[in-house]
Structure 1
């Protein structure tokens, strides 16, 4: 009985580790200093508790907009406070990064433009969008600390593929 239990646990552990690896759980983010690019984000504003169902609704709506082909683009968000240190409150704009400002938006969406040409840190990781943010922000903050850089409180993240995430944060001048 003990040998069977150990064998089953070993197999289950292997399956969990393989799935975690498939999602990019063992991937590390790369960070570079860049000139930020201009982005167009169509979405909905959210200001409130991270436990509020409204934030989940906004994320679900963004996925629905892409699934139903209401917009062409990729999932993307703007955070106006530190997503890692936000505690219980977040101020965000959640939606879809779109190719240009001439696109017809869904009725419940608005457009925000992220200005380009600013000195910024960009982190990139090959991991599923559920795992990517933790890796990206940790890498950005570690790099900024090592390089003695002060960052603005403006975070843009986008997910060009299911297993890839990018975060850009302007550097204070």
Structure 2
């Protein structure tokens, strides 16, 4: 992640005129029904793949944290169900809050948590040790495609099942 961030910041110099040109070109390509993620809107094309890779890593980290939190016994956290429900409700923005979330990229952050959580739920259902394998080496990290289809990761990592369901958006 540090290497990706370094690459992102060192390559991110662009003149204000070029940046505005790229932003206006992207805006012209949008339909009125498409949502706009401000961070993607302002990110130069040459840095998008680096940003996508960094987003994948952050999705893995956030999903793992969410999955671990949900593994904690209810005896340790007696109000865990209420806690989880509150978190899930706050992630379901509606009305003006939904528009603000889309414009600021918060909607993307919310989907990262649920996508990462589902990935870890799916691989753990196949093999209780699978979540540890994600962090055993850089090769264990899932790709963006594997996050949305945990079965790909299971097959690549040599787990014994092909039955992991594709990710669902919460």
Fold-level match, TM-score > 0.5?
Answer: no
Higher strand share: 1
Which category describes the TM-score, using the shorter chain as reference length?
Answer: under 0.3
Q: Highest relative contact order (Cα 8 Å, sep 6+), 1 or 2?
A: 1
Higher helix share: 2
